[in-house]
Structure 1
Amino acid sequence: MANPNIPQGTLNRIRSNITIPGNTALNVTPAYMDKSFVTVTFDGEFDNLIPTATGGVTSPEPYVMATVSFGLLRTQALANAWQSQVKALSDLGNVSIFPDTTAYAEIDLVNCVVSHIDPGPFDGTNPSVKVTLRGIYYVNNDLWNI
Structure 2
Amino acid sequence: MATQNPLIPQGVLNRVLTAVVIPSNTALNITAPYMAKGFAKLEFEGDWTGQVGTGTGIVNSPEPYIFARVTVNLLRTQALSASWVAQGAQSTVIGQVNVHSDTSTFPVASMLDTSIFSLDPGAFDGTDPVVRLVLRGSYPINAALWTA
User: Alignment partner of 2:125: what SS?
Assistant: coil
Q: Tell me which residue corresponds to 2:49.
A: 47
Segments of 4+ moved more than 6 angstroms: none
- CA–CA distance in structure 2, aligned partners of residues 124 and 39 of structure 1: 24
Report which stretch shifted further, 129-138 or 49-58. 49-58
Q: Deviation per CA, 1:83-141: give whole Å up to 9, x if none.
A: 00000001100000001111111000110000100000001000000000110000001
Q: Deviation per CA, 1:1-31: give whole Å up to 9, x if none.
A: xx73200101101100010001000000000
Match of 2:10 among 8, 12, 18: 8
Letter in 2 for 1:127: P
Q: Tell me which residue corresponds to 1:75.
A: 77
- CA–CA distance in structure 1, aligned partners of residues 117 and 129 of structure 2: 20
Report which stretch shifted further, 43-52 or 82-91. 43-52
Is 2:81 aligned against 1:58? no
CA-CA distance at 1:54 after TM superposition: 1.4
Report which stretch shifted further, 50-59 or 89-98. 50-59
Instruction: Provide the aligned C-alpha RMSD in A.
Output: 0.9
In the superposition, the TM-score normalised over structure 2's length comes to 0.95
CA-CA distance at 1:52 after TM superposition: 1.4
Match of 1:136 among 135, 138, 141: 138
- CA–CA distance in structure 2, aligned partners of residues 37 and 110 of structure 1: 21
Q: Tell me which residue corresponds to 1:34.
A: 36
- CA–CA distance in structure 1, aligned partners of residues 146 and 125 of structure 2: 52
Letter in 2 for 1:43: E
- CA–CA distance in structure 1, aligned partners of residues 81 and 109 of structure 2: 22
CA-CA distance at 1:142 after TM superposition: 0.6
Q: Tell me which residue corresponds to 1:21.
A: 23
CA-CA distance at 1:67 after TM superposition: 1.1
Match of 1:101 among 100, 103, 114: 103
**Structure 1 unpaired stretches of 5+:** none
